[in-house]
Structure 1
Amino acid sequence: MTLALADEVRDAMTHGLPVVALDPTIIAHGLPQPRNLTIALELEESVRAAGAVPATVAVLDGRPHIGLSESELERIATGEPPRKLSHRDLAPAMATGASGATTISGTAFLAAHAGIRVFATGGLGGVHRGWSRAQDESADLRLLARTRVTAVCAGVTSLLDVPATVERLETLGVALIGYGTATCPAYCLADSGVPVDWTVHDAREVAAAMRAQDTLGGPDTALVVAQPVRAADQLDPQLHDRVLTDALTACERDGVTGAAVTPYLLERLVRDTGGASLEASLSAVRENVRLAARVAAVWAATAHI
């Protein structure tokens, strides 16, 4: 596969400097225009301020890009929202010259292929509610079960079945570590109430776990680091539960199924919380990016120890 590496990313990797892959979905699909471009640039600068190099991932005209110029960021942030590309979509997109914003699975796959170990995202995909009826599960989970990356996230998206997703990660052999928390966060909520088996408190411990993965060998599974949104910035849990309950009822009433469910629920959550869910999500993403940069910096500094 021929990847288009931005000069800044190529130079950093050549000299062993820290690099953080950034998931572009929130830029392309999670925020209104033109705020999404402003946030995209802010997140990249946040990575640089923490001593690492940002590598926002996307596919442009059939070619995977690892690191985007400002004009390329603008391209995926403006106009009609680009297509979402999971790892299964990469080959058809390349063959047809398509453009799109990679999902977590697409970002993780391309980051690992480029040799980037750490990437930052928002909320992790997983097992959908009502799985026993529709057996709907995000492609993120299986990809993480066979890809050696460290995914810094804000836990499992609250729209999903969080307990089932945590169990599924265990079944797939993917380590889930709480960053400063003993329970799994739920993206815009700081605490889902679902316990995690391991807790760490600084970037050095995350990097140590990454080194231990390499020492042990075995399956190339991911390390998922779940950092809760700050309590002061989270969505009010009672408001969240009330709005989500109403949204799930409306979803069933309107006959929304399959891939349309999550966008439908997200739109209702943003609308019926007056945008509060979006602000909580943004706070989580900002903190995830900063943590990912710190982890990447420690990893790069200790890679040969």
Structure 2
Amino acid sequence: MLVVSAEVGEALDARRPVVALESTIIAHGLPRPRNLQVARELEEAVRQEGAVPATIAVLDGRPHVGLDEDRLERVANEDGIRKLGHRDLPLAVASGASGATTVSATALLAARAGIRVFATGGLGGVHREWTATQDESADLGLLARTRITVVCAGVKSILDVPATLQRLETLGVAVAGYGTDRFPGFYLSDSGHPVDWTLRTPDEVAAVMRAQDTLGMPESALVVAHPVAAEEQLDPELHARVLAEALRACEDERVTGQAVTPFLLDYLVRHTDGASLHANLAAVRGNVRLAGRVAAAWARS
């Protein structure tokens, strides 16, 4: 069922480093033509670290692990590309649909292909007002049962960060800060909450991955929380002010359910004059580079 590109397949067979990349940022996260430029840039960043990029998407009902230039352009430029979580994959395959993969779908397909390292921006998590809405990202449950290492900038700061950390603990998902004892907040280097473990080198991350296997741990993920550089983060005071305004606007306009996250993210981009998007891309670039180094360390282990 999986269509693994020749380059990715050869790298996996030879135990060379491979990094999985999601495609939602390409199809839904950025305007054209910048989305395609960023997609190429992220793949090149993986290559510069000595690893092979495996951007993942579903095209005409077939899950692709690794995209050639034509398929990458399709994801970036074709109208009607859906946004697919892991629950949507059987429906997309059966109906012949095309879609960009979110964190949960990318992690699942990457693991199925034998890829151990995945780079993304920020994870989904527990939403604010969870006690009333019961709104929780599918990312968390999927990571609780998928053996993959996710290099990310924490979770999106629009979420309930402490509740998300608690939920990850309950689900048995290991979380470590990379070079920090603070949990990053996507746009922010520090969400205001600590992490219990700190890893400082790619080899240390690879050692944890080996220990997961050696101990016969449940098939859960390792989250490597890598903060955006302090000089590239969104100004914390600006972030706090605009997020408070966005939450009020969300309530005033009665935005609910799945519409909340895109509403808040779009509000942040517009009311920070694009500074939140700059921080987002800085975080993704840093995560991709680190993931390449982790994948290389894992391949050496």
The answer for unaligned runs of 5 or more in structure 2 is: none
The answer to whether the Cα contact below 8 Å between 1:28 and 1:81 also exists between their aligned partners in 2 is no
**Offset from partner CA, 1:89-118 (integer Å, 9 cap, x none):** 000000000010111000000000000000
Query: TM-score if structure 2 supplies the norm length?
Result: 0.99
**Which residue number corresponds to residue 83 of structure 1?**
82
Is 1:38 aligned to 2:37, yes or no?
A: yes
> How far apart in 1 are the matches of 2:35 and 2:246?
25
The answer to whether the Cα contact below 8 Å between 1:29 and 1:81 also exists between their aligned partners in 2 is no
**Which residue number corresponds to residue 221 of structure 2?**
222
**Which residue number corresponds to residue 293 of structure 1?**
292
**Which residue number corresponds to residue 64 of structure 1?**
63
**Which residue number corresponds to residue 19 of structure 2?**
20
Is 1:92 aligned to 2:91, yes or no?
A: yes
The answer to whether the Cα contact below 8 Å between 1:52 and 1:297 also exists between their aligned partners in 2 is yes
**Offset from partner CA, 1:96-146 (integer Å, 9 cap, x none):** 000101110000000000000000000010000110110100000000000
> How far apart in 2 are the matches of 1:82 and 1:297?
32
**Which residue number corresponds to residue 167 of structure 2?**
168
**Which residue number corresponds to residue 138 of structure 1?**
137
**Which residue number corresponds to residue 250 of structure 2?**
251
Once the two structures are overlaid, the 10-residue window that deviates more, 242-251 or 25-34, is 25-34
Once the two structures are overlaid, the 10-residue window that deviates more, 92-101 or 76-85, is 76-85
- How far 1:272 moved relative to its partner? 0.2
**Which residue number corresponds to residue 282 of structure 2?**
283
> How far apart in 2 are the matches of 1:179 and 1:198?
9
Amino acid aligned to 1:180: G
**Which residue number corresponds to residue 178 of structure 1?**
177
Amino acid aligned to 1:200: L
Query: TM-score if structure 1 supplies the norm length?
Result: 0.98
> How many residues are treated as equivalent by the alignment?
301
- How far 1:176 moved relative to its partner? 0.5
- How far 1:81 moved relative to its partner? 5.7
**Which residue number corresponds to residue 126 of structure 2?**
127
**Which residue number corresponds to residue 200 of structure 1?**
199
Give the secondary-structure state (helix, strand or coil) at the position aligned to 1:119: strand
**Which residue number corresponds to residue 186 of structure 2?**
187
The answer to whether the Cα contact below 8 Å between 1:50 and 1:294 also exists between their aligned partners in 2 is yes
- How far 1:177 moved relative to its partner? 0.4
**Offset from partner CA, 1:172-191 (integer Å, 9 cap, x none):** 00011000111110111000
| Aligned alpha-carbon RMSD (Å) | 0.7
> How far apart in 1 are the matches of 2:86 and 2:47?
27
Give the secondary-structure state (helix, strand or coil) at the position aligned to 2:229: coil
> How far apart in 2 are the matches of 1:150 and 1:50?
17
**Offset from partner CA, 1:207-261 (integer Å, 9 cap, x none):** 0000000011131010000000000000001101111111111111111100000
Amino acid aligned to 1:157: K
> How far apart in 2 are the matches of 1:79 and 1:21?
22
> How far apart in 1 are the matches of 2:112 and 2:5?
15
**Offset from partner CA, 1:124-170 (integer Å, 9 cap, x none):** 10000110110100000000000000000000110100110011000
The answer to whether the Cα contact below 8 Å between 1:180 and 1:200 also exists between their aligned partners in 2 is yes
**Which residue number corresponds to residue 149 of structure 2?**
150
Give the secondary-structure state (helix, strand or coil) at the position aligned to 1:20: strand
